[in-house]
Amino acid sequence: MATKAPPKPARPPKARPAPATAPAPARPASPGVPAATGRSIREERLTHNGKRHRAPKAPDLNPLRKGLRLERVPDPHVMVLFGATGDLSHRKVFPALAQLWRTNLLPQDWMLVAIGRRPYDDDSFRDDIRKSLTENSRVPLDPAVERQFLERISYHRGDFDSEAMYDSLVERLDAIDAHHATAGNRLFYLATRPSDFPLIVGQLGRCGLDHEVHGGGWRRIVIEKPFGRDLDSAKRLNREVGKVFRESQVYRIDHYLGKETVRNLLVFRFANGIFEPLWNRRYVDHVQITMAESLGVEERGSFYEETGATRDVVQNHLLQLLTLVAMEPPATFEAEALRDEKVKVLRAIERPDRTAVAADVVRGQYGPGWVAGERVTGYREEHEVDSKSETETFVALKLNVDDWRWSGVPFYLRTGKRLPKRATEIAIQFKDVPHRLFESAQSNPEPNLLAIRIQPDEGIVLRFASKVPGLGLDIRTVNMDFTYGSAFSTDAPEAYETLILDAMLGDASLFTRADEVEAAWTAVDPILDAWLDEPPPDFPNYEAGSWGPPEADRLIERAGRRWRRI
Amino acid sequence: MVEEGSGRGGGANGGRGSAGTVGGLMNPGMTRLGEPVMRWSSRTHSIAGVQEELERIWGSISLATPGSVPSAAAGRPGVAEGGTGGTDGTDGPAGVNPAVEERRVAARSSVMNLVVVAGRGETGERAAAVVHGLTGRHPSRTIIVTPADPDGPAWLDAQVQAHCILPSVDSPETCAELIYLTAGGESGQHLAALITPLVVHDLPVTVWWPSEPRLESSATKDLLDMADRVLVDGAGWSGDGLDRLAQLARLPGEFAVEIADFGMLRQSRWREAIASSFDLPRLRPFLGAIRSLTVSYAAGDGAPRSTNVVKPIYHLAWLASRLGMTVVEPLKASETPWGGYHGVVRSGRRHIAIALQPLESKVLRGTTLEVVIEAGRGPHALEVRVTGQADGITVDTTVDAEPMPDRHYLVPRRHEADLLAETIEDAGAHPITAEALAMAAALVGKPVPGHRLGARAA
């Protein structure tokens, strides 16, 4: 079993200018070494401990917060948003921040410095944000609340590669600290192209903006996916980031983990006693994870040409869902414990060799067809797509998780664009009954199934057999269906709200750790490698609006199973 | 809010013969996004009749669930156009409309039994309106019971309704039942006997008194025996409300119930604002060095004990219970006009003066106007002044006579439906409520027996 400790990112020495405010005091003799006082080490330690661990005067937590919505609110801080003029910032980040502000979950002393290349000033940038808030807000904002929110945003113009921009940023941040209680706390948010990450991170390091000094506040950095395009580039990126930031300062967003239903997966598995005993190779026949999209590549043609479905969805979203389904119960509900368990699952995924890739992985690309009553073009005819493109828009694969719990239980994953509908679902297919008692029944009951719908119609379905009322004995499969909408208010936060608030609070549970990213690439890399050498035979091989190429059906039917109709 | 069907529908589900009994499906095709629609209404005169009606509702509604497109959603992208034939129940028998494609199933869902004890008819109507607002969030079986004519002969009048709501375009319709019971004569004295057969088993029972509860009566005690949660609005009680408050605080010990008071729930925006003042690490130590707590409230006249002070007391009680204080001298009403209430609590060895101060104001009597916290540590002094406005709460903090920037929390006042939803979402004993209620009883000099006051909650 692979129980190797996660690789510690080496922290190379670096030259860092002393903080502008005060020169670092000369380092005293190492505190661990007792001074020559004649006391034993044990005595020394006891007295030191006595001094150091005296109960702090100020309680760590605000006692008045107990029982309120949040027992802790984020510390006052400055958020520095790189790529603030981009699409992601406008569609997701600002609306999420505005909702957090609306519900008073942000500290009053919260400021945002938006960085972009375009020529805005504070006012014109705020006007722009106001417009996108109107379009993208989950709950409309009261004008007064919106004004308050926008007042906290300022615009800082500059190129990501210009040193002068970072120097003036340092001054600007110091000036904000002087007027607000932000106390040196910084949240850097990189909503930029991934190719800019190393540059920005390096510059932040040059200016000492990563540096957490004692009493000088925390520094955290949020990075958006993709985290590399294969194992090598992911390692390179992690190394670049690791040169400047410690792993505990880095928050890699996979917004899928912020979705309510995905978070509920943990609650479902570990807050219920009756499912966990069944959750293993003894009772589970196989697991299917589907993430279907009805959309095509839209305006992202050039991006998609570079990525393809495997990199875009399988490596991150689908494998994340798989880890949540397959992981062992963590010892505590803490970020590291949780992520340790997820990494273990990723490490247990069997790496397919060339023959296994050929047999167990199916790729596809859509041709023209009909989706939702509309005629749509094929992938090769999409904007910015090569007319002989070999990029896959559909992947179906079988993975084996080789550990004590799952050995021999196949995990079938599939994702694709231009499928008949948009749906994400995890289905746990249980084994059939060992003995068919009701042989006279006209139809054999299907084995039990537990389906967790992630979108749309979030909910959980349990399928079981039931007798059809009547004199004879006929059996039909029925569903016990739980939908979120009918049991809870539908006012669930957006994934980005959850994740940004967590990053502000310093809770990394729902963020991907460096070794997790690398382990996921390790699982996917052999597939990408095998494909490099073997061009796809027959692209496009499925019609838009169908459930993928026929090979995908054969992949699962070989074992006498079939894909769920969703 | 609720669309009343103008006629009776449903040939097969029509009237049942007995005098005045009408019943059946209504509005089979009408659904607007987010607005409850009455789908069933019938009348009967016995508990057995109510049970029968409840069974019939679900048989019929699932058959007649319209697949029609909600009119408000017509024209939205992603919603197919659909017929809305037979929409208002007046044009012929209702039932399945074959022209309409079956798109969704009405899910009957209940999260609790809500028993509303309405003193008068209009209280019941008001409560029903609040419950309708809740259908989409927390569909429940609601029983609104109104005792009437206590000296007359025993009789019962029951109206059974089903209300459905379409929470969003792509979710199933959810339905909930509403039963109006008017109990005349002696049957009004045995409420538990009326209600027990009608609650959905296995679901929690919440008893809500929108008006003043008679907590000492035997009928109430029977109800409390079957209740899991009790919901009151202490700010609406007569007099200064303090005797009833002390009674309320004893209920969790006597019955296995949790208490929720709208008066206390309404203050959550205050609590958030007050707590946020002490989020700043440098101000937090002042919490251990409080010298006085003063709450001013609106009073019409200065006469002693004439204004309901339940809400102002809750502020003091919450702060005192959270900060682990114990009562030294309970609050005592001053006999001079505009004198308010004064008392002393203790935190460690430090005595803290507490006061409720009436102020002349045009706003509703008993409303909190301001909460002032004064603290001093050595030479340093802190004053936190929290004031309420219609649209939010303002916090002024002064450290050593130097004002910090004002902070204004924009939070509109919430409606009863929101508060009711909140109590349901906060299922389980809410630490704030339980501790603050016990502290409130101690503050008015009637501590709950056996409650360890001042023992800091873990």
- How far is C-alpha A222 from the geometric centre of its chain's CA atoms? 11
Of A118-127, A202-211, B30-39, where does mean pLDDT reach its minimum?
B30-39
Q: Which residues contact B43 (CB under 8 A, 6 or more apart)?
A: B20, B21, B22, B23, B157, B158, B159, B160
pLDDT at A26 over 60: no
Mean pLDDT of A141-150: 88
% of chain A residues with pLDDT over 70: 87
Phi, psi dihedral angles at B368 (to 5 degrees): -75, 130
- Tokens of residue A30, six digits: 């190492």
- Centre a 10 Å sphere on the Cβ of residue A283 and count the other Cβ atoms it contains: 14
pLDDT at A143: 87
Span B214-232, pLDDT tens digits: 888 888 888 899 898 898 9
pLDDT at A249: 93
pLDDT at B87: 34
Please indicate if any CB of chain B lies within 8 Å of the CB of A455: no
Contact A415, A566 (CB under 8 A): no
- Alpha-carbon span B373 to B294, nearest angstrom: 7
Please indicate if any CB of chain A lies within 8 Å of the CB of B274: yes
- Alpha-carbon span B211 to B216, nearest angstrom: 15
pLDDT at A58 over 50: no
pLDDT at A70: 74
How close is the nearest chain A Cα to the Cα of B281, in Å? 7
Please indicate if any CB of chain B lies within 8 Å of the CB of A145: yes
pLDDT at B175: 79
Contact B395, B385 (CB under 8 A): yes
pLDDT at A183: 82
Contact A104 B281 (CB under 8 A): no
Give the DSSP H or E segment for A533.
Answer: helix A514-533
pLDDT at B434: 84
Contact B163, B135 (CB under 8 A): yes
- Centre a 10 Å sphere on the Cβ of residue B193 and count the other Cβ atoms it contains: 13
Q: Which residues of chain B have pLDDT under 70?
A: 1-34, 59-109, 136, 167-172, 424-431, 452-458
Angle among Cα B217, B222, B224 to the nearest 5 degrees reads 95
Give the DSSP H or E segment for B373.
Answer: strand B368-377
pTM score, whole prediction: 0.76
pLDDT at B7: 35
Please indicate if any CB of chain A lies within 8 Å of the CB of B432: yes
pLDDT at B75: 34
- Alpha-carbon span B399 to B228, nearest angstrom: 46
DSSP label of B166: B
pLDDT at A15 over 90: no
Q: Given the structure tokens 């605080």, which residue do they identify?
A: B249
Contact B171, A483 (CB under 8 A): yes
- Alpha-carbon span B142 to B130, nearest angstrom: 11
Q: How sure is the predictor about A142, in pLDDT bands with cuts at 50, 70 and 90?
A: confident
Among all residues of A, which ones are annotated catalytic?
A: 317
Residue of A94, A84, A95, A178 lying closest to A139 (CA atoms): A95
- Tokens of residue B140, six digits: 């429940």
Q: Smallest Cβ distance to B410: which of A59, A65, A144?
A: A144
Q: Which residues contact A536 (CB under 8 A, 6 or more apart)?
A: A363, A365, A390, A392
pLDDT at A2: 42
Q: How sure is the predictor about A128, in pLDDT bands with cuts at 50, 70 and 90?
A: very high
- Alpha-carbon span A251 to A509, nearest angstrom: 9
Span A337-360, pLDDT tens digits: 999 999 999 999 999 999 999 999
- Alpha-carbon span A155 to B268, nearest angstrom: 35
Contact A456 B170 (CB under 8 A): yes
Contact B409 A104 (CB under 8 A): yes
Contact B109 A487 (CB under 8 A): yes
Contact B68, B169 (CB under 8 A): no
pLDDT at B427: 55
Task: State the ipTM, two decimals.
Answer: 0.71
- Tokens of residue B267, six digits: 């203050």
Nearest Cα residue in chain B from A215: B281
Best of B265, B269, B276 to substitute, by most chain A Cβ atoms within 10 angstroms, is B276
Q: Given the structure tokens 């959980």, which residue do they identify?
A: A460
Best of A57, A61, A62, A103 to substitute, by most chain B Cβ atoms within 10 angstroms, is A62
pLDDT at A402 over 90: yes
pLDDT at A513 over 90: yes
- Alpha-carbon span B274 to B426, nearest angstrom: 21
Beta strands A394-400 and A361-364 are antiparallel
Nearest Cα residue in chain B from A60: B281
pLDDT at B422: 74
Please name the amino acid found at residue B248. Answer: L
- Tokens of residue B420, six digits: 């009711």
The residues facing B384 across adjacent strands are B373, B397
Contact A73 B391 (CB under 8 A): no
Contact B60, B25 (CB under 8 A): yes
pLDDT at B453: 56
- Alpha-carbon span B95 to B98, nearest angstrom: 9
Span A269-303, pLDDT tens digits: 999 999 999 999 999 999 999 999 998 888 888 88
pLDDT at B120: 74
